[in-house]
Amino acid sequence: MAETSSSNNVNNIPIEIVSEEEMAFIEAAYASVSSSSSSSILSRCSSSSSPTRLLHNNAISINSITLVSKRRLSSSSSSSSCAGDIEDTVVNSSSQKKPNISDSFLRRFRKKRALSVTDLTSTEWCPKQMEFTLLLGGRKVNQFMKAGIARHAKLEAEVITRMEVKVQSQEDRMALKFLNFIAGVNQLLFEGLTRELPIIGFAEDIWMVGIIDEVRMPLTENDHNPILIDTKTRARDTLPAEPQRRNGRLQLMCYKYMWDNLVADNFPSKDFFTYFGLNPQSILCEDLRVLSADSGFSATTLDDVVRYYRNTYMMLSPANDQLLLRYEYQKDHSLLCEDKFAYDAVWLKNQIRSCIEFWLGEREAAYVHEEERWKCRFCQYAPVCPAYTESKGIDANTSNDSKAKEV
């Protein structure tokens, strides 16, 4: 498919109302899969390589920063204390203790874990669906989501080789994320491109985490503002409906907001250690100490890594105000369209505030607006949701194709 813009569909590609993998859950599924087992991590590097070979093949000197930046570290936990990843957003309700009814969702389900950007976009998509996800269990990963996960893994593998490291504590796990950010920024500054960049920041009095699909440096010498890009995969060769584009724009704007906050040095480290219950003087595992030395700096404790994290993001400029969403057809990875749009700080803060009010228990979970009740047809919680019962009779005789023409 030829490239199109968000405002000019030159090839008249039909608009599809919704596609199962397009509800802002790719990031959540990707995070849960990549952190759930060491075997999946190794398969992303090489099906025939062992952890020892990977380390040997990527042996580097302190001066080889560009080579270091091409490595992305993945954890293999040897301690039950770090079984949960702070970016994981798929919740198993059976493992949750029965909370006090007055507790907020943030306290009950994200205590010492922070909100992911996917938490926010999922809440914007449908607050009631987010509530059901938390209370009844995480969304199922279907074949379309798996295809999206595989595509993102392939895009990452084009510029990054994954390595496995054995972490022993929650401090190690957090340090791993900072080290991956440092390596990714080095790659961005030296090569102009990095992918799957983890970011941890503080915004609107909330700790937030996310994974940016792609960051590129502008081609013009006078422009030093990195461009943030997100790639969405489509099960059909159709364009996304406006609610999906809106959700994707929210995701990218959240990344820019977090990025710009870091660049402005809005990272209260003392509050960070307290909120996540981390010991800044915790000694890093041997793998991380060796890898940090290979990267050109000597880090012994988590506090050391956080200081290098700060030194790294302070080298950056604010992200470009122009953001880019790319939509690909899963079957052949052809480009369906590119949605180029401008950052809107006022709109974004209103959206974040509304989502956070839900997580803090200041606002009840609302149903989607009537004009977007078609989302219910693709929701696994529809059988227990009153909104679906009310709306399923409205368009029972309306096909997907005819509905698409109305959007």
Find where tokens 């960049």 sit: 197
* Of 82 and 232, more confident: 232
pLDDT above 80 (res 1): no
Among the listed ranges 30-44, 193-207, 265-279, which one has the minimum average pLDDT value? Answer: 30-44
Look at residue 245 in the predicted model and tell me its pLDDT.
95
Residue 148 pLDDT greater than 60, yes or no: yes
Secondary structure E strands in 37-116:
71-77, 115-116
First to last CA, the chain: 21
Residue 204 dihedral angles phi and psi, to the nearest 5°: 55, 40
Answer whether residue 92 shows pLDDT above 60.
Answer: no
pLDDT per position as a tens digit, 328-352? 999 999 999 999 999 999 999 999 9
CB 178 within 8 A of CB 292: no
Distance between CA atoms of 382 and 115, rounded to whole angstroms? 25
**What is the token pair recorded at 80?**
């039950």
Say if CB 129 and CB 39 are below 8 A apart.
no
Name residues whose C-beta falls within 8 Å of residue 374's C-beta, 6 or more positions apart in sequence.
17, 18, 395, 403
Dihedral through CA 203, CA 194, CA 176, CA 257, nearest 10?
Answer: 0
Distance CA 162, CA 74 (A): 7
Return d(Cα 349, Cα 330) in angstroms, integer.
Answer: 33
Nearest Cα to Cα of residue 73 among 197, 158, 168, 188: 197
- DSSP single-letter state for residue 35: H
Question: Bigger pLDDT: 334 or 86?
Answer: 334
| 58 contacts 67 by C-beta, under 8 angstroms | yes
Name the 3-class secondary structure at 272: helix
What's the predicted TM-score (pTM) here? 0.75
Which three-class secondary structure state does DSSP give residue 190? Answer: helix
Over 90: is that where the pLDDT of 276 sits?
yes
Domain ranges of the chain: 15-93+106-366
The answer to whether residue 217 scores a pLDDT higher than 70 is: yes
